[in-house]
Structure 1
Amino acid sequence: MISRISGFLAAVAMAATLALSSQASFAQAADAASAAPTTEAAAPAPAAAAAPKSEENPYGLGHMLSHGDAVSKGVLFLLAIMSMGSWYILITKLWDTQKLSNEAKEVRATFFKKASLADGVKGLKDTGAFRFIASSAIEASEHHEGALTENIDHSSWVTMNVERAVGEVNSRVGSGLGFLATVGSTSPFIGLFGTVWGILQALTAIGVAGQASIDKVAGPVGEALIMTAIGLGVAVPAVLGYNWLVNRNKAVMAEVRAFAADLHGVLMGNRAKR
């Protein structure tokens, strides 16, 4: 036990001696360094005084715009137009379907509770789809005359006009979806064409210059690959927006067709009472 304690004390004493000796040597080195003449500190530093120059990124979109040819700029401009058109259609059609859905709820709650069809039509919006369908149906019911229309019974005549009005409303609601489908299916290939064209121009320039180092290849090739990324960035919102609008249009048009069917039943019931 005593030997362990004495050994421990000896180790502590040795460690303290080493620490004191290293601290003394460090202090001597610091004194020598402070006493030495600093000739370099007095020398001016022109490199520090000069303002750092901002280097242009050779792999970015700005470099492609400034150094690209007419084909690459045309592809980029076309993708920008397609993207703006897709977002415009998506926002406006979402707004239109939301208004039509709100109008359908209001019509379902108030229209068939009116005293007459004339009062119900007056309560509808002048430029609304339900006003257009109701006016078409009432006009067809009240004006069933003519040599050609006499061969068609009244119910079929009203049904034809109501279905025609509903079809026109469906065409208005679905307008613009073809553009979204076109953008979603073609923009990746347009971006890929820009990439292929950019890589072709880059490899041609590298072959003419005779320099095939990695810094000469990575810049133009990476710059050309931006086109594919932009094409995908244009296509994905268009495809998602198309599917979303199709589902919303189906739900809204189901309410429109239900209103048209109920209106047809009311018109036939009124005629039977006469």
Structure 2
Amino acid sequence: MYNTRSIQRFIFVGILATSTLLPIVSVFAEEASTTPVAVETTNTVSTDVPVPPPQPVAVQPVSNPYGFEALWNEGDLITKSTIFILLLMSIGTWYIIITKFIQQAKIQRQGKEAEVKFWAASSIDTAAETLTEASVYRFIAEKGINSTRKHGGNLLERIDFNTWVTISIQRAIDKIQSHLSGGLAFLATVGSTAPFVGLFGTVWGIYHALTAIGISGQASIDKVAGPVGEALIMTAIGLAVAVPAVLGYNWLIRRNKAVLDNIRAFGSDLHMVLLSGEIKNDSKSDSK
């Protein structure tokens, strides 16, 4: 009896000990399994070999599919023709602005030369020879002098001498004015038509956008971005051509007015000198 109870107690204690120690053993087993990993990580961090920094990602150059180059490569005949017309307008505009500025500056220098040399001469004949051959002031002086010498004959004698000299000088001034105004009509034309030429390219680009939408059946951004960008570029080109033309036209007109005022003043002074009878007196002394 005693032995049976002792065996029962021993079995109960063994079962209790087993149920108590199993969770502790499992915990120690988990800690033992994770401990090598921690040690390995610690060893890796504590190494003396420096870790190289991450290399930057190479950026590949991406071509702009909506720029001017794409517009020229993918544009049709009408688009390229429109750009070519605007390019010709721009070249002509800058050529006229530069050449007219040089011409006006040259005439202004000739006017300063005439003020110094022409009126300091002893006679009209020698005064005209003091100016350079390409001077517009010499051209006006020679026309006025020749008009006084040619005032004769049955037909010209019916015209008053004052009127005849005035008409001759005014014709010379009008010819110079016409020469100065050459090319300004082109600037006015470009300034008024270039925006509409660019607008035509804009309408054509929008037409391409609507066509792309109709073919694809969807109004996604990749379908309309190219044609709409083409339309905006054409508008910008038209404005870039028109604005310098308008500004250059107004600037050259203002400079022409200043140049012509000096020429008319010279012509008025020349007219009074010619009416003083110096040419007739010189011609009479030569005949004697």
TM class by smaller structure: 0.7 to 0.9
C-alpha distance in structure 1 between counterparts of 2:80 and 2:124, whole Å? 59
Query: What amino acid is aligned across from residue 214 of structure 1 in structure 2?
Result: I
Match for 2:224 among 217, 224, 234? Answer: 217
The answer to whether residue 99 in structure 2 is matched with residue 92 in structure 1 is yes
Equivalent in the alignment of 1:257:
264
- The answer for the alignment partner of 2:54 in structure 1 is none
Q: What is the rounded CA distance, in whole Å, between the counterparts of 2:39 and 2:223 in structure 1?
A: 49
Asked if structure 2 preserves the Cα contact closer than 8 Å seen for 1:111 and 1:123, the reply is yes
Equivalent residue, structure 2, for 1:134: 141
Q: Which residue of 1 aligns with 2:179?
A: 172
| CA shift for structure 1 position 32 | 4.6
**2:250: which partner in 1?**
243
Deviation (angstroms), 1:211: 3.1
- For 1:95-244, what aligned pairs fall within 5 Å after superposition? 95-244=102-251
Q: Deviations over 1:62-93 (max 9, x none)?
A: 00100001111001000000000000000000
State the secondary structure of the residue aligned to 2:157. helix
Deviates most, 91-100 or 196-205: 196-205
Q: Give per-residue Cα distances to partners, 1:69-118, cap 9 Å, x unaligned.
A: 11110010000000000000000000100110111112112211101111
| Distance (whole Å) between structure 2 residues aligned to residue 142 and residue 250 of structure 1 | 31
The question of whether the paired residues in 2 share the 8 Å contact of 1:56 and 1:63 is answered with no
Contact kept in structure 1, 2:124 and 2:279, CA below 8 Å? no
Query: What is the CA–CA distance in structure 1 between the aligned matches of 2:256 and 2:43, rounded to whole Å?
Result: 83
Q: 1:95 to 1:209 in 2, by over 3 A?
A: same
Q: Can you give the 5+ residue segments of structure 2 that lack an aligned partner in the other structure?
A: 1-37, 46-56, 282-288
CA contact (8 A) 2:191 2:246 kept: yes
Distance across 1 between alignment mates of 2:39 and 2:247: 71
**What is the CA–CA distance in structure 2 between the aligned matches of 1:106 and 1:78, rounded to whole Å?**
42
- Percent identity of equivalent pairs: 51
Instruction: State TM-score, norm by structure 1.
Output: 0.80
SS at match of 1:113: coil
Deviates more, 1:206-215 or 1:175-184: 206-215
Distance of aligned partners of 1:30 and 1:94 in 2 relative to their CA distance in 1, 3 Å threshold: farther
Q: Which runs of 5+ in 1 are unaligned?
A: 1-27, 36-47
Report how far residue 150 of structure 1 moved.
Answer: 1.8
- Quick check: 2:212–2:223 contact (8 Å CA) kept in 1? no
**Distance in 1, Cα, partners of 2:40 & 2:184:** 78
User: Greater relative contact order (Cα 8 A, min sep 6): structure 1 or 2?
Assistant: 1
Counting matched residue pairs gives: 236
SS in 1 for 2:222: helix
Aligned CA RMSD, in angstroms, stands at: 2.5
Rounded to whole Å, the distance in 2 between the matches of 1:146 and 1:163 is 22
Say whether residues 1:74 and 2:84 are aligned partners. Answer: no
* 2:199–2:238 CA contact under 8 A, matched in 1: yes
SS at match of 2:211: helix
Is 238-247 or 124-133 further displaced after alignment? Answer: 124-133
Larger Rg: 2
Cα distance in 2 for residues equivalent to 1:202 and 1:128: 58
Question: What is the match of residue 34 of structure 1?
Answer: 44
Equivalent residues of 2:68, 2:233 under 8 A apart: yes
User: 1:10-67, CA deviations, whole angstroms, 9 ceiling, x for partnerless residues?
Assistant: xxxxxxxxxxxxxxxxxx89945936xxxxxxxxxxxx8xx87543312100001000
